Structure 1
Amino acid sequence: MSTTGYIVQGVVFVLVFGTALYLFGKAIWDRYRFLRLGAKEESRTQDPGRRFAGFLEFVLAQRKVLAEPSGIAHFFIFWGFLVLVFGDLDFIVFHLTRWHLPWATSPVYLFIQEMFSAFVLVAVVLGLIRRYAMRPMRVEASFEAGLILGLIGTIVLTYYVATAADLVLDGVSPGWWSPVVNAIAGGLAGSSPGALLAIAEVCFWIHILCISTFLYFIPRSKHLHMIGAMFNWYFRKLDPPGKLRKLDLEDESVEEFGVGRIEQFTWKQLLDGYACTECGRCHVSCPATLSGKPLSPKYLIIKMKESLVAQGPGMLAQMAAGAENVQSESLFVNTFSEEEIWACTTCRACEEACPVANEHVQAIVDMRRYLVLTEGKASPEVNKVFANLERQSNEWGINRRERAAWAKDLPVKTMAEVDGQAEYLYFVGTAASFDQRNQKIAQAFAKILLAAGVDFAILGAEEESDGDSARRLGNEFLYQEFVQRNIEIFQTYGVKKIITTDPHAYNTFKNEYPDFGFEAEVYHATEFAAKLLEEGKIKPVKRIDKTITYHDSCYLGRYNGIYDAPRYILQSIPGVQLVEMERNRNKAMCCGAGGGGMFKEETGTRINVMRAKQALDTGADIVGTACPYCMTMLIDGTKANGAEDRLQTFDVLELLAESLAV
């Protein structure tokens, strides 16, 4: 090609690629400005070392992506692209100048470039087969997905063919380190110089057009996650995963509480939308989605992003015009339905599955807060729960004086009777205090503590609700009332150590009460009982010759990482044979009770019926629980499956107490 030809080619390249870069940069800048419309966020920059380590682990090493087999293809596409960036730089420079960059002629580098290009091509083919032939529930056969995969595949193929044609044209052997290019060059051998030049140039320009198109689409499609996910992992939540953000109810300048408009989400919550890969892992993990509810955590995040991108320009225009209060339309007009927000069980299965650290539950609770505190909207059954909590400090509205009725035949003292001189407070919780079936859990645990000689007491009628149901149902005002009452009681008796059989109370005491100035050693009863077993303070002796499957409580497992203690207890009981459900530990399915779900009407298939069926499929005689709410839901689910005679439900503490013969 003549000097003039190279000049013309260079000018055309600058125009085409420069335009693509401009459109890419403009879209990225606009989306950054949209993020700044969001509410201020608590610090997301503390502990930079831990944040950077997480970036290495989850972005570069792709650990969360590789948690699923399909993530292998993404891993190779991700790393293939990183390697191809350097190769493409040389590819472009060579075609415009006929000069190679220093590293680009190294056999080692060329081999790595070839292999990663091949990996990307194989991954693209597998992606197309999976998306358009196999079509699993969580992925969609969309035009955009096909276009992106097609662009990626074409970029790799045109690199191979153009490189091979150039080498044959220059009379250079590709060498063993370029096996794919070598094979293509062999097929092109014998072609005329004009044909080789035409092949190289056509492939080069197709290559450039594909890259330019891809650049245009990245910020305007789900592939914005290529940028968003990196920042999302760095700015991820470092607090306990189940901890909700405290709402400042004393700020008199605040007219609306919670999130009812897109700009009321924090910038980090809005960043979740940019980070979303639309992979659907959350979609197929969500019990609400799987049981036919109107909620999908995947579409929740997608709709949040779409609302921001659609309304962002208008809000920026309001700011440019000098508007003091920039407002968008209500999220409950065209974005979300109230039904989908109430369908969530707050189980965190979505967050556990998410490969880009999205935080769905906080966003949902924030919208519930808006509905309850700002709009005064909740279903009749939810309002009844609030009324019962206000009157009797329990969701059922049972007279609070009955809180200690479960212990009437046991030598259990109250804190008032021992003048606060007990090492441990056993916080019984609402379900185990008032529900007749769950009272047996409290009785069993008290017997275990008595057998081990533990110095403990209860609050009895002084015990308040822990407030978890109120908070997860959006009534932060009521929750904070309970927090202050409980802290006052704890401080009155000098409580420093708390044990509870309720995972919901455990989570809020341990992870959320510190925001209100109260900290204590908090144990779940299974943790504590396992500790007693390890120390030899109790010893199971009576055989229980049963096959048992254990159901992981969401608030014990995914919220607080307690998976082993309940299983250790079961395995310590003579005769017990433990079998696992297909969905267990961090992938366990919710029973449907969380987030106030136990007290709401449920559309579609009942979640507890699905979970009970999973327990039945193991062939076990007993399903073990470690949560009073799970106990109730699984008993009802077993009955709905017509199998109450075939599968019994017991708390692991009941089984332990029986084996202790106490």
Structure 2
Amino acid sequence: MLEGLRIRATGFPDFETVSFVGYFVAIVVEAVGIDATGAEALYWVGWWSHSLIAFGFVAFVPYAKPFHMISSFANVVVSDEKAGARLPSVPADLDADTGAESIDSFTWSETLDQDACTKCGRCSSVCPANASGRNLDPRDVILDLKSYREDVDAGGEEVDIIADGGESVIAAETMESCLSCMACMDACPVDIEHLTSFTKMNRQLVDTGQVNSEMQDVFQDVMQKGNTFGDPNRKRGDWSDELEFDVTDAREEEVEYLWYVGDYPSFDDRNKKVARALARVFEAADVSYGILFDDEKYDGNDIRRTGEEFLYMELAGHHVETFDEVEFDHIVCTDPHSFNTIKNEYPEIDYAEFADDPVMPFEYDEEWNADGEIGVFHWTQVVSDLVDAGRLDLSGANLDYTVTYHDPCHLGRYNGEYEAPRQLIEATGCELHEMPRSRDDSFCCGGGGGGLWMEFDDEPKPSEERLREGVEDTAAGSEIEKFVVACPMCTTMFEDGRKTGGFEDDLEIVDVAELLEEALDSKGALASVGADDGTTAASAD
């Protein structure tokens, strides 16, 4: 319209014909009887009105819904690609606000997360806790925090950010429901880092003594025994007693790979079989490896995500101090949870800040692996390289099972490793059929974020829903014989879901390591395992 008024006011210059829409408007303006003088007057009225409205809109944006157009872009720009996999540390000062004591406890980036939310609901649609009927909607948590902040800024009454009972912005039950799977973060189109804010609220529950009683028992077991099972830690290496060979003590002998076995492969009977299977695979490939036996403790990944930060610091400090006393080149982990925290979080801790604290049982005061000189790997990554190097007798036709594979959250979404487990499955000869929700769309087993230790009235359980997907929604459907995993916690959750969901006659839960063991044993490749130390090879578990 303004262009048409300008052309009419300037007398229809010939060169303006290129602006054919404006030229047409100018003809219409002339046809309704507006002369050049009137057009010029209307032009300036329109120009200033347009300018003032535009500037007014810009000034209005921070106070209105369109603000997310700016905040969303800013949130994407400043997002941390390691958010969730690497949680922020806390100061050593025990009096510091490490949780969510008030709305001001949230950092500028966490506040920006609240403003950036577009209310699209993608996070809620992929949340396994929400799908199981728990009291958790990731979108609502972020929006409730924003709404409360705006209410307080407007002079409203302050209440607790999170509490177990009474008036609060977020209920304790809501945060206890979170599985720390990062599906919400992966789905968010504006890179909101839900898990960072969620962990801060969990820390508040711990700081105020309102943590779930089942988690309190786990914390107590870890503090007193060094593991989540509450068993004497001296038994940590007993899983290896049934092997046909001795596992090297890395405290006494230099090794290439320091194997961090983890709690579940060390103490859980079902997962001990996985540990033994992996040990036999390492032996068959002639890998130089060793373990820490009772000097290994729980890695701390999941208690950190449930808010127990200072106990996590104790565990991390103990481990890096122990690592510093052992001769090795790389660390290999059975559990993706251990893999994640040792790789991404142990190097980020300022150990010097905590070393002088008499409460902390370590004296290590240096950076650990800040430059990544020590490689930290999940075992599937290491064994995949061994297969590529021809160090394992796998022809790609050893087994003929029809299988599906579940991507563990801490291996996949957390650390981007999707190929190594699949390459190993295919190397055994198994026919792999993908579930619709696979790779970065994988559906959590329900064990993360403390879910393994807490009881919920889920309907259905996340593990049951995932198993249903495996036998009903894959291309092979009911022909699926084995549900393959690469995480001890997933094994535990799916073995439980297999029973409670009625899938016991439909499929078997197996770890990739157990497939490899069976494939190698089928060709006699394990026959010589243990022969060098004078023992006789036994059949696999």
* TM-score by shorter chain over 0.5: yes
Structure 2 counterpart of 1:543, which letter? Answer: N
Distance 1:390 1:164, change over 3 A: farther
- Larger relative CO (CA 8 A, sep 6+): 1 or 2? 2
State the distance in 2 between where 1:608 and 1:98 align: 73
Which of 325, 334, 352 is the equivalent residue of 1:492?
325
Distance 1:91 1:263, change over 3 A: farther
> Is structure 2 residue 490 aligned with structure 1 residue 635?
no
SS of the aligned residue for 2:125 comes to coil
State the distance in 2 between where 1:99 and 1:621 align: 81
> Is structure 2 residue 339 aligned with structure 1 residue 506?
yes
2:190 aligned residue: 356
SS of the aligned residue for 1:494 comes to coil
2:86 aligned residue: 243
Deviations 1:202-258 (A, max 9, x none): x9999999979966874344431111012112211144651111111x226x34321
State the distance in 2 between where 1:314 and 1:99 align: 55
Distance 1:421 1:212, change over 3 A: closer
Structure 1 counterpart of 2:465, which letter? Answer: M
State the distance in 2 between where 1:367 and 1:484 align: 24
Deviations 1:22-67 (A, max 9, x none): xxxxxxxxxxxxxxxxxxxxxxxxxxxxxxxxxxxxxxxxxxxxxx
Do the aligned partners of 1:223 and 1:277 also contact (CA within 8 Å) in 2?
no
2:387 aligned residue: 533
Do the aligned partners of 1:452 and 1:532 also contact (CA within 8 Å) in 2?
yes
Do the aligned partners of 1:414 and 1:460 also contact (CA within 8 Å) in 2?
no
State the distance in 2 between where 1:96 and 1:339 align: 66
Distance 1:473 1:241, change over 3 A: closer
> Is structure 2 residue 399 aligned with structure 1 residue 557?
no
Which of 361, 364, 368 is the equivalent residue of 1:518?
368
1:311 aligned residue: 152
Structure 2 counterpart of 1:384, which letter? Answer: D
SS of the aligned residue for 1:596 comes to coil
Do the aligned partners of 2:400 and 2:431 also contact (CA within 8 Å) in 1?
yes
In structure 2, stretches of 5+ residues that fail to align are 350-366, 527-541
Give the CA deviation at 1:337. 1.0
State the distance in 2 between where 1:381 and 1:569 align: 37
Distance 1:264 1:208, change over 3 A: same
SS of the aligned residue for 1:425 comes to strand
Distance 1:515 1:590, change over 3 A: same
Structure 2 counterpart of 1:329, which letter? Answer: V
Give the CA deviation at 1:398. 2.0
Distance 1:168 1:256, change over 3 A: same
Distance 1:558 1:93, change over 3 A: farther
2:486 aligned residue: 626
Do the aligned partners of 2:248 and 2:290 also contact (CA within 8 Å) in 1?
yes
State the distance in 1 between where 2:487 and 2:300 align: 16
| Structure number having the greater helix percentage | 1
Distance 1:408 1:335, change over 3 A: same
> Is structure 2 residue 305 aligned with structure 1 residue 472?
yes
1:272 aligned residue: 113
2:260 aligned residue: 427
Do the aligned partners of 1:425 and 1:456 also contact (CA within 8 Å) in 2?
yes
Describe how 1:66-465 pairs up with structure 2 within 5 A. 91=2, 166-170=25-29, 218-239=61-82, 241-248=84-91, 250-251=92-93, 254-314=95-155, 328-332=158-162, 333-372=167-206, 374-410=207-243, 411-415=245-249, 419-465=252-298
Deviations 1:78-121 (A, max 9, x none): xxxxxxxxxxxx84895799579x9x9695xx79xxxxxxxxxx
Distance 1:305 1:164, change over 3 A: farther
Distance 1:553 1:205, change over 3 A: same
Which of 557, 571, 593 is the equivalent residue of 2:447?
593
1:566 aligned residue: 421
2:469 aligned residue: 614
Do the aligned partners of 1:222 and 1:277 also contact (CA within 8 Å) in 2?
no
Give the CA deviation at 1:607. 1.5
SS of the aligned residue for 2:118 comes to coil
Structure 2 counterpart of 1:235, which letter? Answer: V
Distance 1:105 1:585, change over 3 A: farther
1:187 aligned residue: none
> Is structure 2 residue 517 aligned with structure 1 residue 657?
yes
Structure 2 counterpart of 1:169, which letter? Answer: V
Structure 1 segments, 4+ long, off by >4 Å, are 90-100, 104-107, 191-194, 203-217
Do the aligned partners of 2:284 and 2:392 also contact (CA within 8 Å) in 1?
yes
State the distance in 1 between where 2:301 and 2:249 align: 23
Give the CA deviation at 1:579. 0.7
Give the CA deviation at 1:514. 0.4
In structure 1, stretches of 5+ residues that fail to align are 1-89, 112-159, 172-190, 316-326
SS of the aligned residue for 1:246 comes to coil
Do the aligned partners of 2:99 and 2:200 also contact (CA within 8 Å) in 1?
yes
Do the aligned partners of 1:412 and 1:458 also contact (CA within 8 Å) in 2?
no
State the distance in 1 between where 2:99 and 2:388 align: 45
Return the TM-score normalized by structure 1.
0.67
State the distance in 2 between where 1:635 and 1:98 align: 81
Do the aligned partners of 2:97 and 2:105 also contact (CA within 8 Å) in 1?
no
Do the aligned partners of 2:159 and 2:169 also contact (CA within 8 Å) in 1?
no
Structure 2 counterpart of 1:492, which letter? Answer: E
1:156 aligned residue: none
Structure 1 vs Structure 2 CA RMSD: 3.2
Q: Percent identical across equivalent pairs?
A: 35
Return the TM-score normalized by structure 2.
0.81
SS of the aligned residue for 2:123 comes to coil
Deviations 1:381-423 (A, max 9, x none): 111111111122221212222211211132233435x614111
1:153 aligned residue: none
SS of the aligned residue for 1:599 comes to coil
Structure 2 counterpart of 1:581, which letter? Answer: M
SS of the aligned residue for 1:454 comes to coil
Distance 1:421 1:227, change over 3 A: same
State the distance in 2 between where 1:360 and 1:488 align: 32
Distance 1:610 1:92, change over 3 A: farther
> Is structure 2 residue 423 aligned with structure 1 residue 579?
no
State the distance in 2 between where 1:603 and 1:289 align: 12
Do the aligned partners of 2:4 and 2:29 also contact (CA within 8 Å) in 1?
no
SS of the aligned residue for 1:488 comes to helix
Give the CA deviation at 1:567. 0.6
Structure 1 counterpart of 2:78, which letter? Answer: F
State the distance in 2 between where 1:573 and 1:567 align: 10
Deviations 1:118-164 (A, max 9, x none): xxxxxxxxxxxxxxxxxxxxxxxxxxxxxxxxxxxxxxxxxx9xx69
Distance 1:94 1:302, change over 3 A: farther
